[in-house]
Structure 1
Amino acid sequence: MASIELDKQTERRLDKLRAAVRRQTGHPISRAELLERLVEDAYGSRDEVVDMFRTSQAYVADEDSGTVHRPERKLVPGGADRPDE
């Protein structure tokens, strides 16, 4: 597996996700396994991932609260019409 550099905030978030999985499932998970699952999920919804990079609004600010969030996305599993590339 290739090594990649992550900024401190991304590392913290990744570790918080790992901790949540461990707490809620009772099973430890490695960073690599978590990243593999996240990529698998994103790959199944790759059109939406690509769209996030097409627009400058990958994140949206709520005008009332000022909270910044990522717009909801519907996960679409890959199928015959979306063969692995």
Structure 2
Amino acid sequence: MTSIALDEQTERRLDKLRAAVRRRTGQPISRAELLERLVEDAYGSRDEVVAMFRTSQAYVADEDSGTVHRPERKLVPGGAEQPDE
């Protein structure tokens, strides 16, 4: 297994997604399993993922910190947003 470094915000979001899965399904999920499923889903929508990198708004760099982030947007069109906080 390969390790990847995640920033604090991404780690918090990943943990919130894990908690939402656990709450809604009653089943625990590991970070690795969640990431595998997210990648599998993105791979199925890879044209949309590639398109995010082609647009000028796909990723934005913060001029002060140099941090690069993606503006809030759903990968899957038409999906209902439900806060899990």
Identical positions, percent: 91
Q: Deviations over 1:21-79 (max 9, x none)?
A: 00000000000000000000000000100000000123799999999998999989999
The structure with the larger Rg is: 1
Distance 2:24 2:80 in 1: 33
Structure 1 runs not aligned, ≥5 long: none
CA contact (8 A) 1:61 1:68 kept: yes
Q: Does the Cα contact within 8 Å between 1:58 and 1:70 map onto a contact in 2? A: yes
Question: What TM-score do you get using the length of structure 1 for normalisation?
Answer: 0.69
Segments of 5+ residues of structure 2 without an aligned counterpart are: none
How many correspondences in the alignment? 85
